[in-house]
Amino acid sequence: MRNSILKLASIGVAMSALTMSVPAFAQEEAAGPITITGGAAIVSDYRFRGVSLSDKDFAFQPYLTVKHESGLYAGVWGSNIAPNDGDDVEVDLYAGFAGGDAVTYDIGATYYVYPGVSSFNYVEFTGKLGTSVGPASVGAQLSYVPSQNNTGNNDNIYVATNAAVTIPNSPISIVGSVGLEDGAFSAGSQKLDWSLGLTAAVAGFTVGASYVDTNRKTTFAFKDSAAGVVFSLSYGF
């Protein structure tokens, strides 16, 4: 899944102004057990694990997540992709359980759906861990696609690590990732992908630019994905 939940400074300012004009008891009202978050991003190229799935064209990517205070969550994410046997949409349906404090965890599954081309649909299970090391946030991911008809009866494994470091006294963060894939989607040969870039919170939006590359394409690539810079603009609530 390729979604991120953003904290919006503009909403915080608006809510601060609102609480100045309402009774005190309204400020003390307990939050419900259900949290709904959502948003959308525009990217100059939809890159999935280093590979362009939009044929190096722009993509629009909305998402919506419903989370319970217990840690259970479910949601949907979408994107346009390159023409794919007459279809050009990907829809990801995801669910899982997340929590933790000093060390966070996220265990879930994603069903990748390509409407109109059901022969491409497949399910993937993912586990993630994250923590802070000094000024950096670091994470690790293990994803597994079990053998199924739509993967040629072969499984697939993807392992990755990522990090983000906020530049002191600025809204800018340095972000990077490295991933290794082997199995059905890499045609039986190991595929390496990596990225390095910057993100910044600007007027309630998050803007970003990352250099993305991979040593080879996957079976889902429509053309070879040469290295390039991917720009993004996202907004969330």
DSSP state string for 203-231 = TTEEEEEEEEEESS--TT-SS----EEEE
Q: Specify if 112 maps to a domain.
A: yes
Residue 3 lies in a domain: no
CATH number, residue 106: 2.40.160.40
Q: Could you tell me the sign of the dihedral formed by the alpha carbons of 116, 120, 122, 127, in that order?
A: negative
| Average pLDDT score over residue span 112-119 | 85
Per-residue pLDDT reduced to its tens digit, 135-176: 899 999 999 999 998 888 899 999 999 999 999 999 999 999
Q: Where is pLDDT greater, at 69 or 221?
A: 69
Q: Work out the percent of the chain whose per-residue pLDDT is above 90.
A: 67
More confident residue, 132 or 31: 132
> Is residue 184 a part of any domain in this protein?
yes
139 falls within a domain = yes
Asked whether 90 and 78 are in contact (CB, 8 A), the reply is yes
What pLDDT is stored for residue 164 in this prediction?
Answer: 98
Average confidence (pLDDT) over 92-119: 94
- Domain range for 108 is 9-236
Report if residue 4 sits inside a domain: no
pLDDT score recorded for residue 189 = 82
In a domain, 1, yes or no: no
Split into its structural domains, the chain has a count of: 1
Is the model's pLDDT at 12 over the cut of 60?
A: no
b/e per residue 134-160 (b: at least 16 CB within 10 A): eeebebebebebeeeebbeeeebbbeb
Residue 77 neighbours by CB under 8 Å, 6+ apart:
1, 2, 3, 61, 62, 63, 91, 92, 94
Q: Specify the pLDDT at position 220.
A: 60
Compute CA 30 distance to the chain's CA centroid, rounded to the nearest angstrom. Answer: 30
